[in-house]
Structure 1
């Protein structure tokens, strides 16, 4: 029986502690972006951007702050989808592995797409502004989480999930509006798929956490 409420965090901290705490943080940053002074918001966005320049100088703070922003706030369709994916994953494999999958996607895909941008500028392959472009958000971690969650589904659900989600990422890449980010999303999805042995070992025989 499908129980849609199992896709949302529960107030019981023993069920989904990672996503419950993370969602509480993600509620605050959109409020800051909405109501704080524009100069402060710009400074925060600049300081938390995982562009090549920041990653070269302060990689750990930049990567940590990068994951504090979510597009559209916590009531946007994107945010609700992100919340449901991480909740479903945490109920199956627990908070530490969910956090691990998310961080793997966020850190590896960010580093792989942004760091090469520094040397590419002097070579003339990218514009001078590339090492300082604004780049923040949870997209890479979310894509990795989708990939990992797919591995816990039966084949009849896993294949269409990966096909539809992967096709949407490829379509974004073909549109060529933000190729660095679009490549990162595909890479993060592949990272999530690569974690299947880990998440399946934890999720095998473990029912979703009870409310």
Structure 2
């Protein structure tokens, strides 16, 4: 007895899909299996930084500017002492700390260090403000030891470059012997060198603006001829800072690479 096969029974379906295929036809394409959509990745919630937090992040901290804050603390102490101590004692200390020719010949290292412990004009001096703006920014970019090196480089070289000609002029008879005891102390040479170095790490337009404004102020002081040796020293120390651009740029790259490696 023959079994009658209906068209529905003879229908062949695609494996795993149930899709009917035509019997007796060549192999036909089948629709791919449906794939469940991948749920979108939801990023972790990161709250936006508050404006106050961003502003606080610009302030120097002991972690990122130890040299600047430590040095600033010393300068605050010496400035308060100079303001409230006996004037005759303060003047005597200024004289002993002066980087004049006589002291440079007797004890050059001691007097070069001691002269950098005072701020000429005290805490209200313009160089005190520049110190607080420039040195933290430079230290964050190249580190504390390198910032100290730039500061001392400007302080020492500009001092020697202005005082050695005085000694030679006295020996030649062009200046009186009293010029050997000239009162000279303060942080201005080191600060000017730091500003010159920092300018090399800025974008072109801010760099030009900083150098134009600060250089113009120094030139105006020199034209007034009130203190030509100090005025020349400030220009020299600014030029010394500019001369460190290859170093500070390389140091900044090194510091960034180190930060990425530890991050």
Q: SS at 1:29's partner residue? A: helix
Q: Find 1:125's aligned residue among 174, 177, 181.
A: 174
Over the residues paired in the alignment, what is the CA RMSD in angstroms?
A: 2.0
The answer on whether the counterparts of 2:99 and 2:184 sit within 8 Å (CA) in structure 1 is yes
Are residue 162 (structure 1) and residue 211 (structure 2) matched? yes
Q: SS at 2:217's partner residue? A: helix
In 2, Cα distance between equivalents of 1:53 and 1:7: 43
Unaligned residue ranges in structure 1 (runs of 5+):
none
Shift of 1:6: 5.3
The answer on whether the counterparts of 1:8 and 1:83 sit within 8 Å (CA) in structure 2 is no
Q: Which residue of 1 aligns with 2:256?
A: 206
Q: Find 1:47's aligned residue among 92, 96, 104.
A: 96
Unaligned residue ranges in structure 2 (runs of 5+):
1-50
Shift of 1:77: 4.3
Q: Which residue of 1 aligns with 2:194?
A: 145
Are residue 38 (structure 1) and residue 107 (structure 2) matched? no
The answer on whether the counterparts of 1:102 and 1:144 sit within 8 Å (CA) in structure 2 is yes
Shift of 1:7: 5.4
The answer on whether the counterparts of 1:7 and 1:84 sit within 8 Å (CA) in structure 2 is no
The answer on whether the counterparts of 2:199 and 2:207 sit within 8 Å (CA) in structure 1 is yes
TM score, norm. by length of structure 1: 0.90
In 2, Cα distance between equivalents of 1:154 and 1:54: 41
**Structure 1, residues 168-206: CA drift from partner, whole Å, max 9, x if none?**
111111111111111111110010001011110121373
Matched residues, number: 205
**Structure 1, residues 65-108: CA drift from partner, whole Å, max 9, x if none?**
01001133335443122111000000111001100100000000
**Structure 1, residues 40-75: CA drift from partner, whole Å, max 9, x if none?**
111100110001111011101110001001133335
TM score, norm. by length of structure 2: 0.73
Shift of 1:121: 1.5
